Amino acid sequence: MNEIFAGVAAFTAAVVIWGLGRSPRKQILKSKDASLVAGINRSQITLLRAKNQKEQTKYGGFNDGPQFDWENPKTIQDRKNLVLELRKLMSSGPEERLIAIKISSAWDHSSSLPFLRQGLKDFDSRVVEAAASGIESHKRKPSSQFKSTQVKRPPRNVALMR
């Protein structure tokens, strides 16, 4: 009987400690007035538009279409910086991923292929189309590393073939 009383006392103590430790839920908005919610949405949209315009000027107008000036990186350090920038863009929103895919397509280097392959799996159709067109340019030209200059050796069972 003492074990039952000890168990009940431990259970009630655990419930009381758990109940006192919980903090009350905080409401995001105190009132459910639709005008306040609409005002917050409008302010967020204007902030987003300003950010997109800033990025558009940062990346040389990549947001508005295929016209852009592009120069290949000249040094190894430039190439590494470009790869890091592409990784950062690919982990951002759909507009930034589209910019990264367009840069990768214009770069036309083997280091850009992982970004183009990742773009093929994207949920945004614009990114998938841009990645597919970028990979097409890589498929057209044969790579020098795949060209074989060795003569193919005959099969092992040549004696049986004669």
As a whole number, mean pLDDT of residues 53-79 equals 64
Distances in whole angstroms, Cα of residue 71 to Cα of each of 5, 28, 42, 60 = 80, 48, 38, 12
> How far out from the chain centre does Cα 140 lie?
26
> Is it the case that residue 64 has pLDDT exceeding 60?
no
Q: pLDDT category, 118, cuts 50, 70, 90? A: very high
Measured distance CA(105)–CA(113) in Å, rounded:
9
97 or 25: whose pLDDT is higher? 97
Contact between 97 and 125 under an 8 Å Cβ cutoff? The reply is no
> Is it the case that residue 121 has pLDDT exceeding 50?
yes
Query: SS in 3 state form for the chain?
Result: CHHHHHHHHHHHHHHHHHHHHCCCCCCCCCCCCHHHHHHHHHHHHHHHHHHHHHHHHHCCCHHHCCCCCCCCCCCHHHHHHHHHHHHHHHCCCHHHHHHHHHHHHHHCCHHHHHHHHHHHCCCCHHHHHHHHHHHHHHHHCCCHHHCCCCCCCCCCCHHHHC
106 or 142: whose pLDDT is higher? 106
Q: pLDDT category, 36, cuts 50, 70, 90? A: low
Q: Give tens-digit pLDDT for 87-101.
A: 998 898 888 889 889
> Is it the case that residue 42 has pLDDT exceeding 80?
no
Q: Which domains does the chain have, with CATH numbers?
A: 75-142 (1.25.10)
